Amino acid sequence: MKKITGFIILALISATCYSQVPKAIISAPAGDEYVIIRKNGQTILPNGRIISPSGKTHQVAPHPYGLAISNDGNIAITANSGTSPLSISILKNIQSENPEIMQVPESPKGDKGIIESVFMGLAISPDNKIVYVAGGQANKVYKFDIETGKSLGSIDCRSKSIKFDYSHGFIGDMVLSKDGRFLYAVDQIGFRMICIDTKLNKLISSCPVGRYPFGITLSKDENTVYVANVGMFEYSYIKRKDKGVWQNTSVDKPAFAYDTPEAEKGFENDSIKVKGLGPVNAPESFSVWAVQVNNPLKPRVFSKTKTGNLVGQIVDGVPAVGGSSPNSIVTAGNYVFISNGNNDNITVLDSRKQKIITHIKLSTEEKLSKLRGIIPFGLAVSPDEKRVYVAESGINAIAVIDVPTLKVIGHIPAGWFPAKLKVSPDGKKLIIANAKGFGSGPNGGLTFKQGSAGSYIGSLMNGNVQVTDIPVDKELLNTTREVIANNFLIKDESDPSFDWRKKNPVPLYPGQKESPIKHIVFISKENRTYDEVFGQVKKAKGDSTISRYGKGVTFSNSDKSIRIENADIMPNHQKLAGNFAISDNFYVDADVSADGHRWLVNTYPNQWVEATTAAGYGDNRTYKKDSNAPGNLGINGSAGAIFPEDYNEAGSMWDHLARNQINYFNFGFGVMFEPGDYKDHYKYGGIKHIANYPMPKSLYSKTSYSYPTYNMAIPDQFRATVFEKEFNEKWGKGKEAMPAVLTVILPNDHGAAERPKAGYPFRESYMADNDLALGRVVEFLSHTPYWKNMLIVITEDDAQNGVDHVDAHRSILMAVSPYIRRDHVSHTHTSFGSIFKTFWNILGIPYLNQYDASASDLGDMFTETPDFTPYKAVPVDARIFDPQKALDPFDEKFDWKALKDGPEMDNMKDMIRESKNQDKLKAKDK
């Protein structure tokens, strides 16, 4: 038999995927509705889905990723690790109509010293008097009196020996023995499990486990602790030899590509040493370890189990790119249930043999069963151990598993992103911590009434605790139907509502017909809302009072020494909106840049990213240069790249394009690993890399390392210049055909502090820089031979720096093409998934996950009658920004040593300060 070539294998995979394309068309249930919170009805989410949580909901602080209930079922406590202040919420008489809710600390501004850090882990003493709280990066466990909320001190988790240094740790999920004597917890960056003797009030043992331990549970006989490890690699610094000594250094581009021999083994030469990451399916990664604790002083690992699907395993015709991401564990009878966040399944382990029995697949809609996006997270077991309940974070529901048959028998509606859940002691109710609650709602505008939380999106994302009756089995059919309807609008392609699509340039689904569009340019910008740029557009749903970057704006610099009146800050945005199309009903799925840059490459954030992002932006998870913790370099903060721990099962857009043989090239996406090295003088690239983080395999060779990624010290004008130069070198004058997809980052509308000497006398100067660069790029592309078959899509990674009167997630979506309707405003509810769905429909390749497959595409922005008129950019207002002054330092002879480092990405204090300044200006105008 002849050897099957890689090309044939890819063709077979592609053919398999095409056969999966349904004739049913799935879109977002929101239709043309805008985001709105209806706590007693149907809330429309930014992604176009609906939530209608059953039972009662009770608001708590942002991002409750931890939940505990008392033995009597009357008290629920959440650990809130979102935006500061970090806190716990104590809900007394939780099953009553109006529970008493106590916030600790009480003040919305926090009370320094009470809780320095908190992350997920909670445990309540058997007498219901004390709650133990995981102290995150404080490397301690806090104790609080449940009745009064007063601090009872803390337990230090630091330790140091010849072999191990646990001076720096990050304490997370925990479990308490039934008698309350021993508290077991994970140290995420210490790669250890700890045991605390609560009677002695001290740490008594530490046991090394896998990478980034995340979930923990205790067996029924209390002899075994199970630990779920969500990490893939242990990262290390890149070294350079200086005078015979290896020292930490940085390099111009990532050291290697993911899942390659170089990544596994590393490399070393006379001057550089990069440690290998080891095999992708190592026992330390994406695994559950069993630890014997019948002697808590000497815990011992006796079993290591790889859960879910292995990296490289063929799953539904596609090789798995990401690992399983096991995150939560419960035991029932002789079974151990483990939720695999990336695989949308539950591993069932035989606790007697430590062997996998089966994997239970989670799915609500058969037409999407081969696509991932359910994100199983928290688990709970009923008192009689006949039911296991799964928080399905991706579809805002709870799955019900029948233990005797190991089958899913139904789903229950929950709030936005259910994270953890418990069953009441009588087995009749579910208590659910919904990490995103009902969403943020608006954060500005004429009708917005600001409360103590301010207007920053992270402070408005209050979570809630949902208390609901558990349906009897016969009711699950109806609740399951509700869950499906909340997530997916399903129509047959012959439905008359699609008649208008017959001549549309965007196919209704991949492979339906050929599109005239052959080249897609995807441009990402940073952090702006719809209203602050387009709030004055008359045919759209905007609020002109908060259009601070629109037309005829008056503003001053920070010390009020310069005042500018009647300025058009972003004239190219306004002209492009008139010449082509925008949406006034588009929303970013992300809250902040960290998750935003995942969404931008069609990687939906799993439970690891969601939980750690919230903690990081709450100053609750920070990288420390002097730490010896093995997981310290895995704290990636506001990174603009994806890490192996984040990879979805089917990978990102890069993997998807390569797998389907679609040629692409990248300018600035996905190379901003954190921690990294940023300096003003990193003119080309914008960043240097200090650790052995791998890039997605195909992206490594299809990325410009001259084009500057995010670095606010570099003008977008320089990016536009580099883009034009490289474009002409690669694809100009018929040298090679332009790829089907280009990705480009233009980040300076993020904004930063004033730098008059560098050409940025106002915060608005950054917007003007970004606007002119965008205009230049569009003008350049519209004068290439590819323009007649081109689509340019422009959006933001998130909207956290701005305000909007509809919702804090509403952002910018612009579409530019000869096939785009002129002076058009789309009212269809769209999101990041909509962008990718449109791309895949045009390119004729399958959908990648449940988010793009179930979104509404951008079809209504297109016309069958093209207009090939090129675009002409509008000059900038020289009072706001002088492009030449900003570009002068980019002369090769300029003395870069005279400059300071550029501003950091997503500085929380700066963003909240900007939000407050806008509030003051608005009050003054009134």
User: What is the full DSSP assignment across 759-817?
Assistant: TBSSTHHHHHHHHHHHHHHHHHHHTSTTGGGEEEEEEES--TTS--SS-TTBB-EEEES
The beta strands (E) that lie in 255-343 are given as 266-268, 272-275, 287-292, 300-306, 314-315, 318-319, 326-332, 335-340
The average pLDDT across 308-321 equals 96
pLDDT given at position 243: 86
**pLDDT for 168-219, tens place per residue?**
999 999 999 999 999 999 999 999 999 999 999 999 999 999 999 999 999 9
pLDDT given at position 468: 98
CA atoms within 13 A on the CB side of 126: 9
Got the DSSP string for 286-306?
Answer: SEEEEEE-SSTTS-EEEEEEE
CA distance 285 to 288: 9
pLDDT band at 321 (very low <50, low <70, confident <90, very high): very high
Reply yes or no on whether the pLDDT at 751 is more than 60.
Answer: yes
pLDDT above 90: percentage of residues in the chain: 82
CA atoms within 13 A on the CB side of 309: 22
pLDDT given at position 613: 87
pLDDT band at 453 (very low <50, low <70, confident <90, very high): confident
pLDDT given at position 910: 54
To 10 degrees, the CA torsion angle through 485, 489, 494, 497?
120
Domains 43-234+260-490 and 493-593+648-832+841-925 share a fold: no
Reply yes or no on whether the pLDDT at 485 is more than 80.
Answer: yes
Is 719:668 a contact under the CB 8 Å cutoff?
Answer: yes
pLDDT given at position 591: 92
CA distance 80 to 490: 36
Q: Please state the CATH superfamily assignment of the domain spanning residues 43-234+260-490 in this structure.
A: YVTN repeat-like/Quinoprotein amine dehydrogenase (2.130.10.10)
pLDDT band at 891 (very low <50, low <70, confident <90, very high): low
The average pLDDT across 114-131 equals 94
Is 326:317 a contact under the CB 8 Å cutoff?
Answer: no
pLDDT given at position 923: 42
Q: Which residue's entry shows tokens 């309350």?
A: 180
Q: Which residue's entry shows tokens 């919230």?
A: 614
Buried b (16+ CB within 10 A) or exposed e, 666-684: bbbbbbbbbbbebbbbbbe
pLDDT band at 107 (very low <50, low <70, confident <90, very high): low
The average pLDDT across 147-175 equals 95
Would you tell me how many other CB atoms lie within 10 Å of the CB of residue 539? 10
**pLDDT for 779-826, tens place per residue?**
999 999 999 999 999 999 999 999 999 999 999 999 999 999 999 999
224: Cβ–Cβ under 8 A, 6 or more apart, which residues? 218, 290, 291, 292, 293, 351
Structure tokens at 187: 């140290």
Q: Please provide the size of the chain in residues.
A: 926
CA distance 586 to 581: 12
Choice among 439-443, 628-632, 683-687, 864-868 with the minimum mean pLDDT: 683-687
> Which among 743, 640, 693 is positioned nearest to 253, based on CA atoms?
693
What Rg do the C-alpha atoms of the chain give, in angstroms?
27
Is 150:144 a contact under the CB 8 Å cutoff?
Answer: yes
864: Cβ–Cβ under 8 A, 6 or more apart, which residues? 503, 504, 505, 819
**pLDDT for 842-851, tens place per residue?**
999 999 999 9
Average pLDDT, the chain: 92
The average pLDDT across 95-105 equals 94
The average pLDDT across 519-534 equals 97
Q: What are phi and psi of 176, to 5 degrees?
A: -110, 140
Reply yes or no on whether the pLDDT at 521 is more than 70.
Answer: yes
Class of domain 493-593+648-832+841-925: alpha beta
The average pLDDT across 521-548 equals 97
**pLDDT for 62-73, tens place per residue?**
999 999 999 999
To 10 degrees, the CA torsion angle through 844, 850, 851, 852?
10
Q: Which residue's entry shows tokens 């039972």?
A: 55
Q: Which residue's entry shows tokens 């000594």?
A: 245
Choice among 14-23, 141-150, 410-419, 428-437 with the minimum mean pLDDT: 14-23
Give me the amino acid identity at 906.
D
Which H, E and C letters describe 537-580, residue by residue?
CCCCCCCHHHCCCCCCEEEECCCCCCEEEEECCCHHHHHHHHHC
pLDDT band at 902 (very low <50, low <70, confident <90, very high): very low
pLDDT band at 635 (very low <50, low <70, confident <90, very high): confident
**pLDDT for 236-267, tens place per residue?**
999 999 888 999 999 999 999 999 999 999 99
The average pLDDT across 365-372 equals 92
pLDDT given at position 682: 82
pLDDT given at position 680: 66
SS3 for 693?
coil
Domain limits, the chain:
43-234+260-490, 493-593+648-832+841-925
**pLDDT for 272-303, tens place per residue?**
999 999 999 999 999 999 999 999 999 999 99
pLDDT above 70: percentage of residues in the chain: 92
The average pLDDT across 515-521 equals 98
pLDDT given at position 85: 66
Structure tokens at 345: 């399944």
pLDDT given at position 82: 76
More confident of the two residues 583 and 1: 583
Reply yes or no on whether the pLDDT at 77 is more than 70.
Answer: yes
Reply yes or no on whether the pLDDT at 15 is more than 60.
Answer: no
Q: Which residue's entry shows tokens 């006379």?
A: 270
pLDDT band at 659 (very low <50, low <70, confident <90, very high): very high
Q: Report strand pairing: 489-492 vs 24-27.
A: antiparallel
